[in-house]
Amino acid sequence: MDYQSSGVDIDAGNEVVRRIRSLAKGTFTPGVLSEIGSFGGLFSLASLGAPDAVLVASADGVGTKLKVAFDSGVHDTVGEDLVNHCVNDILVQGAEPLFFLDYLATGKLSPDVAVAIVGGMARACRANGCALLGGETAEMPGFYQPGEYDLAGFIIGAVRRDRMIEGKTIAPGDVIVALPSSGLHTNGYSLARRIVFEHLGLTVSSSVPDLGTTAGAALLAPHRSYLPVIRPLLGARLLKGLAHITGGGVTDNLPRVLPDGTSAEIDRGGWTVPPLFAWLVSAGGVPREDAWRTFNMGMGLLAIVAAADVDRLLASLRDAGETGASVVGRIVPGDRTVRYAD
């Protein structure tokens, strides 16, 4: 099994981004500092008399992980997922969150479900020091199946211009450090659901001995926020680049922060793939390269630093409570691609 046969075409998504880039660029005003395709959009407030302040914005959803929430009746964790995903997307550019907005659409509104979803968002916003400023709840009869809904989140953060993490100084010889994920996070669920519920015939309440929990609990593990462990590093000028490993896996996300003339080499042999991913890949017969382009494979965030700063980075992460970080690769000359060594 692979992601495309499960209904998700990553190449088509990349083509859409390529084709709409010029449409969006035609709307850019002088305050825009980023290109379409970055994890977050950058906007300078210089025209408003704040030359050092840059707003960083991002929008995202939870994807078909929502289907697992529908089947399990657990709705608060997907609200938490949404906030943390968006927080990480602006964190990789050095920003801390200011406020969050949500969009909840459903066929028939259930107050209990809506409160559970927003409760999860509020919990994550409090944990990240981010205000849940408002949102929209849309009731659209006949548009969604009974018991189903969709979610989208919109985040605004800020960073001083001289503290932005842009990847421009990344160079061959730099080192890549992986911070572990807490599970699938919010990506790869179309393939994961096909493997677990269609191919294996399990339900959300089925016990999975390889994982020591139920299928539903394993798939609903919340997307973690990396802000608590990265925040102490934001003003230290230590981080050359950060990549949030979301849709497209390591293969497509790491190149987003690489400058021209560089590539990344990941040592798969030096990384222990967590049991959840090993189980999914084995049970679904997922080709190895597709697995690394679909799932995060246990690497939720990748940090790039100079070789001389690796020990300092790892020590700072340990001080912040992150004990699972490890060196997984290096930057080499190349064409902004990811190469794998086994």
Give the pLDDT score at 230: 98
Residues 263 and 333: their CA atoms lie apart, in Å, by 6
Task: Measure the CA angle with vertex 255, ends 254 and 259; round to 5°.
Answer: 125
Give the pLDDT score at 4: 64
Domains and CATH numbers, the chain: 31-163 (3.30.1330.10), 175-341 (3.90.650.10)
Give the pLDDT score at 11: 73
Mind listing the pLDDT tens digit of every residue in the chain (342 residues)?
A: 665 665 556 676 667 667 767 776 776 777 888 776 677 788 888 877 888 999 999 999 999 999 999 999 999 999 999 999 999 999 999 999 999 999 999 999 999 999 999 999 999 999 999 999 999 999 999 999 999 999 999 999 999 999 999 999 999 999 999 999 999 999 999 999 999 999 999 999 999 999 999 999 999 999 999 999 999 999 888 999 999 999 999 999 999 999 999 999 999 988 999 999 999 999 999 999 999 999 999 999 999 999 999 999 999 999 999 999 999 999 999 999 999 998
Give the pLDDT score at 24: 67
Q: At what angle do helices 65-72 and 76-91 cross, to 10 degrees?
A: 160
> In this structure, are residues 277 and 295 in contact, taking their beta carbons and an 8 Å threshold?
yes
> In this structure, are residues 89 and 40 in contact, taking their beta carbons and an 8 Å threshold?
yes
